[in-house]
Structure 1
C-alpha cells in the first residue's frame, strides 16, 4: 500500500508543478503585453499604477514603470 501512496504523491506533485508552470506562463504573457504597451506609448502620455488591494490609481513615471515591468518579466522568465 505504501507504493501506491508514493505514486499518488508523485503524480500529485507533478500536477502541482504543471499548474504552477501554467500560471507562470500566463503571467509572462500578461507581463509581455504590459511591457509592449508601455514601450509604445507616446512620451507625453500619462501612466497610472494601481494600489495593491485597492481601486485607487496613482500617477507614475512612464520610464520607471517600464523598467519595473521589464524586471518583473525577467524574474518570471527565470522562475519558469
Structure 2
C-alpha cells in the first residue's frame, strides 16, 4: 500500500509505529519462551499479578504454554496488519 494523501501518510506512519511496537513485543516474548524452555524441571517459576508487584508461584509447563499462545497470537496479529 502506498501513502499518497496527507491523511493516508499519517495512517501509514501510525501503522508503521504499531508494527514496530508489535515486533518489539514479539522479540521479548520469544526470549521469555526460550528462557522457560531451557529451565531445569526442578526450577521454580513465578508470575506477576497484573497491575501489582506481587508474584505467585506458577507451574512451569502451564506458563510456557501460555507464553507460546501469546507469541502465536502476536505473530498472527502482525501478519494481519
Alignment correspondent of 2:21:
23
Q: CA deviation at 1:56?
A: 0.5
TM-score, length-scaled by structure 1: 0.91
By percentage of residues, which structure has more helix?
1
Aligned length: 75
Gaps of 5+ in 1: 1-5
Gaps of 5+ in 2: none
Of the candidates 33, 44, 59, which is equivalent to residue 42 of structure 2? 44
Q: Whose radius of gyration is greater, 1 or 2?
A: 1
Of the candidates 58, 61, 64, which is equivalent to residue 59 of structure 2? 61
Q: CA deviation at 1:8?
A: 1.5
The CA RMSD over aligned residues, in Å, is 1.0
Q: CA deviation at 1:22?
A: 0.2
